[in-house]
Amino acid sequence: MEYGSPTIITGDFKMTNKRLSLLAVLLVAALVLAACPQPAPIAPTEQEPAAETETEEVAEEAADESMSEAPVQGGVWVEGTSADATILNPILASDSASFDVLGWFFPSLLGQDPFSGAIVPTEMAASWDVSDDGLVWTFNLQDGVMWSDGEQVTADDFKFTYDAIASDLVETPRKANLDNIESIEVLDPLTIQVTYAEVKCDALNNLGLGWLPSHLYAADFSDVMDSPLNEEPTVSAGPFIFNEWLRDDNATVLRNEGYWKGAPNMDGWIYKVVPDPGARLAQLQTSELDLIGVQPEQLTTVELDSNLNLYKFKDDGYSYIGLNQANPENPTAGQDEDGNLVEQDPHPILSDLAVRQAIAHALDYDSIINQVYLGQGYQIASNVLPAVGWAHDPTLQPYAFDTDLASQILDDAGWTDSDEDGVRECNGCATAEEGAALTIRLQTNAGNTTREDLGALVQDQLNGIGFDIQFEAIEFGTLVGELLGQTFDMVIIGWTGLGTDPNDDSFWHSKFDTPGSGFNFVSYQNARIDELLEQGVSVPGCAAEERATFYQEIQQIIHDDIPYVFVTGSVGNIGYSGKFDGTDPGTWSFYHNIETWSLAQ
């Protein structure tokens, strides 16, 4: 299980760190395949109807009672998803659907408390020590953890994984995880020493990626990008082992009898792709699925179904509209090899701050949250969520809905409708060619009806003040490719897995503006932001009150520059069956104790 990296979220249920590495992220999509038989070779065990549960307290009491009885072996848990995985390699994946599957196989250094989010020694690191100057971290590993092929999991696997990320042969969005690491040394098979060049206050957050089995790869990392293991992992050190992946249909995993925490009671887990949210809900109700991310309009149905449980939580993520600052026809890295800023070929429309301001003021956020999210969200002003209370700036106000002001901003910036066809053109604007229409592509992932509804509403509201928004919903993997490739205009998406630290430099720092892999895919450049991000994680002693100053200034600048239009903080809703006893969902992980679940009696 992995800790601490944002992931691009498909859009269904995604709790922070549910076997992801970061989000982020981007928003929520996931969960279900209508009216399909269970994929071979696993067949779900026959079960009795789930006991009626109306509240979380009732569910917890039932779980406590069931755990006192001998666990029943067998059964399969089936999670529904709207989007398929794209790759099963923990250092190459960037989307939550991929981490949902690959997270079962690859061990990680650090654990996370499922209820508080605190880093805890529940994974490979049994304990650790830190030098007095805060630069050297020494991790003592669990002994006797084995890969399913009989090889021991050792410090060499950790070092190989992070050395692979650093290699020029490996294109990965996880380069940010190496930030400020001076060296990684293997002191012995069960001891790792990580040395930082400078104090890094969120140091542990970057050490939570899943480890590759180093004995199966070339020592020079030459096969990492094209390895067949990226689609068919042959070994596991987690609770399940890989069985089969049928693209755009399902992935199945089987119980790992040698799992070091104890083999799960269940036979396996299935990840079924069901693009239609209505079909996902129907299959949850008919027990073809055991878990889905519940969309806002489905909440009442789940709440009234006595055979289902509903878990609600505030996710550590948010939904947003990303505004590409650079020309999508000419993606360019934000820094050269020497770390100097590289001037971007500007986006002909969105590089104009006035256009971004107009967009921010033209959207009716209250209507969006109430009509699209059915109240399952809350407006945010900038990039640090209220949950990170010591760094969040509560005085910063979100952009107000004001179409008159938005229209005036466009008029003043030279975007006017001279031919009165309803679409504004550049008439003396700062960035586009004279006469160019105010036409922008807006994309999101197909199958997430919440995002699709949001896209239609955004299109309508922006077109109402003279934009020509061309909205389309496309396959999730294709969308991620366009994001990382920086070939889009505007995107409705989201981050999850942001964690308990406010450092989100991989979204904003110019060094992570790397076409093909970086998470700063909106090509945001601001030298002051670069400076503040570096200062915020290097405060001597890491006192929260001292770090807060830097993050509050960052929030103000991000708010003013508008690289994102922040739509809503994420509220998650998970609908799940009573097939298994022992479920105990936490805000930070639903599956944290899955090896202890057993068929309901």
Per residue in 265-323, pLDDT (tens digit) is: 999 999 999 999 999 999 999 999 999 999 989 999 999 999 999 999 887 899 999 99
The whole-number pLDDT of residue 60 equals 53
**Nearest CA among 204, 215, 174 for reference residue 90:** 174
The whole-number pLDDT of residue 31 equals 24
The whole-number pLDDT of residue 480 equals 93
The whole-number pLDDT of residue 32 equals 24
CA 186 → CA 131, 159, 299, 442, 478, distances in Å? 17, 7, 50, 48, 39
pLDDT in tens, 525-577: 999 999 999 999 988 778 888 999 999 999 999 999 999 999 999 888 999 99
Q: How many CA atoms lie within 13 A of 144 on its CB side?
A: 5
**Nearest CA among 371, 403, 402, 356 for reference residue 568:** 371
The whole-number pLDDT of residue 504 equals 95
The whole-number pLDDT of residue 50 equals 34
Report the predicted TM-score, pTM, of the whole model to 2 decimal places.
0.68
Looking only at the bridges linking them, the beta strands covering 598-599 and 291-293 are unpaired
Secondary structure class of 163 (helix, strand, coil): helix
SS3 content of the chain, % helix, strand, coil (to 5): 25, 20, 50
Which residue stretches of the chain have pLDDT < 50? 15-56, 58-59, 62, 66-67
How many Cβ atoms are within 10 Å of 353's Cβ, its own excluded?
16
CATH level 2 (architecture), domain 111-216: Alpha-Beta Complex (3.90)
The whole-number pLDDT of residue 133 equals 86
The whole-number pLDDT of residue 61 equals 54
